[in-house]
Structure 1
């Protein structure tokens, strides 16, 4: 897959150091980042984190994507990490305030398709905060809860379930004729 990659009316590319300020604004937004791991509001730390990430990207250990509209206005980010021989984790998924829900669906579709085609892994494992009711409803439609703690539910989704999810979501975002 070559980047930037155009899919579902969005443009996807790997995160760069120049994205640090945008990412920091998303990850420190008290409303939209409330279900993510805490991030210090420190631009230099964010730049350094991205520098370290780029090393992992080169080794194909992790992928962090920024997605934007056709005017190249950034809309959000999503990440694949903890990549092993048969699993990966999808997370750090956050969309800029004011975007419609289809942007979230389209970014999830992209990451599912990217993982299936590029990583050839069979199973995605991820967690969702228990208080994140809307995202929980979405993931419960396709994924299986494998555990929980005080803060999170832990999920897994296999290759066949990902295919069903992708088909279903594409049917939602495609215009009716």
Structure 2
């Protein structure tokens, strides 16, 4: 797999994480406002930096990509990861958007992730899980056309085919061009 180093949307850009992003990533992951539906985090900023440095070997091997989501002015406002890449699918997660995000950042960042997985990587489906109590994210993915494929005590499992994404992409992208009432 060729890792996509950067991709831009209407209001956001995804760029690969660097060790210099450790404080930002760590801050998001330990903030109770953002981590309620994530795996627990322990450790320090130095530990996060070491994790990113270790992860860079997976990136170099084309096995996964960890992105900083930033506004077009370069200000970081979240993270997302593309991983679990197989012959025909990819997984995405570690999706966090903070209060500095622009309007419709969830939609813009999701379209960018799917553009990477379906467009650049040429995969036929995306698979992912969402914590069962994360109602807001569940609604988002269902609106995006994701199909639930299973569940357990903690998570619901989903799949979205590239055909379904492309059926909805233009309509969803158009909503990014619509001004939000003040």
Structure 1-normalised TM-score? 0.92
**Matched residue SS, 1:71:** coil
CA distance in 2, matches of 1:25, 1:168: 34
Counterpart Cα distance in 1 of 2:76 and 2:150: 34
Q: Which residue of 2 aligns with 1:151?
A: 154
Gaps of 5+ in 1: none
Which structure 2 segments of 5+ residues have no match?
none
Q: Which moved more, 1:4-13 or 1:166-175?
A: 4-13
Deviation of the 1:44 alpha carbon: 1.8
Conserved 8 A contact 2:77-2:100 = no
Aligned length: 176
Deviation at 1:63, TM superposition (A): 0.7
Aligned to 1:170: 173
- Please name the residue that 1:116 is paired with: 118
Contact persistence 1:28–1:41 (CA under 8 A): no
Q: Using a 3 Å threshold, how does the CA distance of structure 1 residues 83 and 154 change in structure 2: closer, same or farther?
A: same
User: Could you tell me how far 1:119 is from its partner in structure 2?
Assistant: 1.2
Paired residue secondary structure (2:104): helix
Q: 1:2: Cα distance to partner?
A: 6.7
Report the aligned-residue RMSD.
Answer: 1.7
Distance 1:40 1:169 in 2: 37
Q: Which is bigger in relative contact order (C-alpha 8 A, separation at least 6)?
A: 2
Query: Which region of structure 1 is more displaced relative to structure 2, 1-10 or 93-102?
Result: 1-10
Tell whether the 8 Å contact from 1:112 to 1:166 is kept in structure 2 after alignment: no
- TM-superposed deviation, 1:100: 4.6
- CA deviation after TM superposition for structure 1 residue 97, in Å: 2.4
Tell me the TM-score normalized by structure 2: 0.89
User: What CA distance in whole angstroms lies between the structure 2 residues aligned with 1:164 and 1:151?
Assistant: 30
Query: Counterparts in 2 of 1:34-73, with a 5 A limit?
Result: 34-73=36-75
